[in-house]
Structure 1
Amino acid sequence: MYAIVDIETTGGYADNNRICEIAIIIHDGQKVVKEYQSLINPERSIPYGVQAIHGINDAMVADAPKFFEQAKTIYELLKDNIFVAHSVNFDYSFVQKAFVELGFPLQLKKLCTVRLSRKIFPGYKSYSLGNLCDHRKIIINDRHRAYGDAIATAELFTQLLAHDTEGVIEKTLKKNASNVNIPENLNKEVYEALPQAPGVYYFLNSKSQIIYVGKAKDIKKRVSTHFGGNKGEIAKQAFQKDIYHVDYLLTGNELIALLHESHEIRKHWPRFNSAQKNNNPGHCIFLYEDRLGYKRLQIGRKQNGMKTLMRFANHAGAFKFLVDKSKELNICPKMAGYQSSPTECFDHKIKECEGACIGDESPESHNKKIKAFIQLCDSEKSDYIFIGKGKSQEEMSIVMVEGGSYLGYGFLHKEEAISEWEDLKNYLQKFPDHPEIYKILNSETATKGLKKIKKDDWLQQKIRLSQAS
């Protein structure tokens, strides 16, 4: 038995809205055997914009029963039946939420007439209820009201059952038992074909535009998590409705997946990504010389014309490094740029600064400390590579950093006998440098299981890539 449901609501998502009308049509697989409809008092005002869609206003529902007053009747109609609706996740999310608020979770098998129509009646440009009914010669009386749409959906479902020569409905019910609620506009076969391997995945909309980029150790498993959970959230409903296709790129390991995801988010600016969605250049430690010949340090945003000694993802990281290293070298805090004063710095007052801030320490003596600071910065910017798994058993991956800057990543055959450091660059796909990259490269989790080799060690030990792997 099938319970074909249509609802009208006070808004477009279940978390902050309520049902204001519901219709349930019971179908035995051949014909309609029972009908139910009722306005529902949502216990809140219906916005004018929503009233314009379905025509239900506050006066119409003022004396209507509240959901809890009809809950027993509605439950008896739904229990033990398969919940059917056009864009089923929308209707189901509201009905389920209404029962959850009464302390009674509802768990039913579901069928979506949008998804079924795409398989059983392929080739239409649009699968909205109105367009489908036009194609299938189904008359909708009272469009955008619960009973009118529910009866039309019931007639559509009758036709789907009659034309289902390949057992699509039965197969769908079996597949849905896995609790992976594939979005209505995404072909199930696309999801089933996703690899269970590390990589980057892309959700595309109806215009093949990228709307979300993610990374995963297991692409198929990670993608499935986007389709579970509470469909009542406005963002999740809009998100899933816009997913028409899933594309992917295999990366061989999680590090490259993270690096490529970071690049793709900044490149495509996907609608539903929020993390890393910025062009923040980070913070830098700059070097400049004042009119008295003292070399000075300063933290700021990256800018042209200033010599950059180090780059950091944020101000906090730059400040900590600057203070720690300056204290280690006994550099005047004012000259290091983290104390400001019209005269002497605070540390000089407590006799912990040699007085470059007031001229007691000569430029020559002070600048030797700055030179040592520059050398510390250079030592932090070592050249190195990460070696990891490739996209196949015969392949390996490399990620290269040189001069403190990320160059990119690449793949090559395990048997490549490369001994020259410069030759490794021929296998790289180059990518722009960005502060976010260093959070990834410095993450123990992201680099776990990969081998890190510094350039000096490579050259001194005459390492060949085939040996290093």
Structure 2
Amino acid sequence: MNALLRAHPGGLAFVDIETTGGPAQHDSITEVGIVQVDEDGVREWSTLVRPASRIPDYIRRLTGIDDDMVASAPRFSEIADEVFDRLDGRLFIAHNARFDHGHLRAAFRRAGLDIRPQVLCTVKLSRRLFPDHRRHGLDHLIERHGLMVADRHRALGDAQLLWQFWQKIHDRFPAGHIEAAVRELIGHPSLPPHLDPEQIAGLPDSPGVYLFYGERAAGAADGHLPLYIGKSTRLRSRVLSHFAADHSSDRELSLSQQVRHVEWIATAGEIGALLEEARLVKQLQPTHNRQLRRNRELCTWRLATDIVGDWRLELVHAADLDFGRRDDLYGFFRNRREATNRLRALARDHALCPPLLGLDRHPQGARCFDFQLKRCHGACHGSESPQAHAQRLIDALHALKVEHWAWPGPIGLREGEATHVIDGWRWLGTATDEASLARLLEAGRPAFDLDIYKILVKAVKRLSVVKL
């Protein structure tokens, strides 16, 4: 232990907190316990903390801390300086340290303080020292090492257990062995305690898509529940950033704590990563992806002419059209309501006649309500010619015009050694040789996908186009 104290002259801090169960970004800490160890000896300190919300019953039953106990306790902001002084410069040691460190970092930020200690997780340390054991929760450590329990699920009591565990392992292993394990753990990026480091050992720092899975679940891919799919031009850096101890949001912290399995797919470049991400999110429907979801009600406005040559708008669905082959479509909308609201906004901004757009019912030839409000130029009753109104409608719709497919057949977009095969703004797949290219060209075209369309419209301006 003296070797570790020399490596950390500020000393060690065994830390535990209790919370309301609420997120780190709110005042949810109810108790802080710290056991300080340095050349001067061992000192213990703890305090109750008044949170911003009531303590749920299940937390009260677990910890014994209730609302009455914290009613007169200080807010964290009132004790922040003292807690800071007890931790600053010390090796921060906690069980499932991401939780304790994450909550304290967030609380310090709200108090205007910033602390960046080296962090050691005793879950990971136990796993490293005792690889033959499957479970490394604090209750398992108590049973395995005969730790003396004084006040389980109270902050100082649990911090004392960690100090006991520290002494037990120093009785069992040479100091140099523990020091090497600690150096390796605190020198590595922080990973969730339930994630095997070997899973990310081979992550390349190159473009690709990564997939986070949670607990095993029936019906999920490989038995794991898909949590999140992301993409990056630097896979390793991006994946590890998810596991940084300093999380910017509760959602990021929650995601990192749920990850049990990581996979990745390398791509030739950024476009390939974008395409794979869009495809996989729709296929796997991960719980944490809020965008790129499948939309079966996707629709657009079609500008057509009737039998007498008058212009009219009709709402058509993506499933009924070959989007890429048409030159008379305007806008993409998630549903009929969104499409109608956007058209009403255009009518208002450009003084178009709502009845002539099919938005309102109105007697033919009569003045519409918008004309009476001076928001229509009078095409409804002849004050404006149908041709003039139609031209203003076309001008108003111009910004929404769907990009026309300019090629007679499929093309390839070259990215590195790969060729992305597309036809009518549909991505058929990515080929790496002549055989895979032939298979893609023979396969049927997938359904139109708005996210793929947006990626490809930009990609054709950046990548080399090859006619196939």
Same fold (TM over 0.5): yes
8 Å CA contact 1:32, 1:154 repeated in 2: no
Q: How far apart, CA to CA, are the structure 2 residues paired with 1:126 and 1:380?
A: 57
**Partner SS state of residue 286, structure 2:** coil
8 Å CA contact 1:85, 1:112 repeated in 2: yes
**Partner SS state of residue 5, structure 1:** strand
Tell me, yes or no, if structure 1 residue 436 matches structure 2 residue 451.
yes
Residue 169 of structure 1: CA displacement? 0.8
Residue 89 of structure 1: CA displacement? 1.8
Structure 2 residue corresponding to 1:397, chosen from 395, 402, 419: 419
Q: How far apart, CA to CA, are the structure 2 residues paired with 1:132 and 1:287?
A: 71
The aligned length equals: 411
Residue 7 of structure 1: CA displacement? 1.0
Structure 1 residue corresponding to 2:84, chosen from 75, 92, 96: 75
Residue 353 of structure 1: CA displacement? 2.0
Tell me, yes or no, if structure 1 residue 4 matches structure 2 residue 14.
yes
**Partner SS state of residue 98, structure 1:** helix
Aligned match of 1:62 = 71
Amino acid at match of 1:396: A
Q: How far apart, CA to CA, are the structure 1 residues paired with 2:354 and 2:77?
A: 68
Q: How far apart, CA to CA, are the structure 2 residues paired with 1:350 and 1:440?
A: 44
8 Å CA contact 1:87, 1:114 repeated in 2: yes
Residue 253 of structure 1: CA displacement? 1.8
Unaligned stretches of 5+ in structure 1?
324-331, 358-375, 459-464
Tell me, yes or no, if structure 1 residue 282 matches structure 2 residue 294.
no
340-349 vs 381-390, which moves further: 340-349
Residue 108 of structure 1: CA displacement? 1.0
Aligned sequence identity (%): 28
Q: How does 1:66-215 map to 2 (within 5 A)?
A: 66-161=75-170, 162-163=172-173, 165=177, 167-175=180-188, 180-207=189-216, 208-215=224-231
Residues 123-171 of structure 1: CA deviation (Å, up to 9, x unaligned): 4343321233223333433221112211112222334454473722111
Structure 2 residue corresponding to 1:352, chosen from 355, 379, 385: 385
Amino acid at match of 1:224: L
Structure 2 residue corresponding to 1:25, chosen from 18, 31, 35: 35
Residues 197-231 of structure 1: CA deviation (Å, up to 9, x unaligned): 21111011232322100111121122233233743
Tell me, yes or no, if structure 1 residue 408 matches structure 2 residue 428.
yes
Tell me, yes or no, if structure 1 residue 343 matches structure 2 residue 375.
no
8 Å CA contact 1:25, 1:32 repeated in 2: no
Amino acid at match of 2:379: D
Residue 430 of structure 1: CA displacement? 6.5
Q: How far apart, CA to CA, are the structure 2 residues paired with 1:38 and 1:111?
A: 23
Aligned CA distance change for structure 1 residues 318 and 77 (closer, same or farther; 3 Å)? closer
**Partner SS state of residue 313, structure 1:** strand
Unaligned stretches of 5+ in structure 2?
1-10, 217-223, 347-352, 366-376, 391-400
Tell me, yes or no, if structure 1 residue 388 matches structure 2 residue 414.
yes
Q: How far apart, CA to CA, are the structure 1 residues paired with 2:302 and 2:242?
A: 43
Residues 306-329 of structure 1: CA deviation (Å, up to 9, x unaligned): 898558532669989xx9xxxxxx
Aligned match of 1:461 = none
Q: How far apart, CA to CA, are the structure 1 residues paired with 2:435 and 2:102?
A: 58
Residue 57 of structure 1: CA displacement? 1.0
Tell me, yes or no, if structure 1 residue 16 matches structure 2 residue 26.
yes
What value does the CA root-mean-square deviation take over the aligned residues?
4.2
Tell me, yes or no, if structure 1 residue 235 matches structure 2 residue 259.
no
Q: How far apart, CA to CA, are the structure 1 residues paired with 2:361 and 2:207?
A: 49
8 Å CA contact 1:2, 1:83 repeated in 2: yes
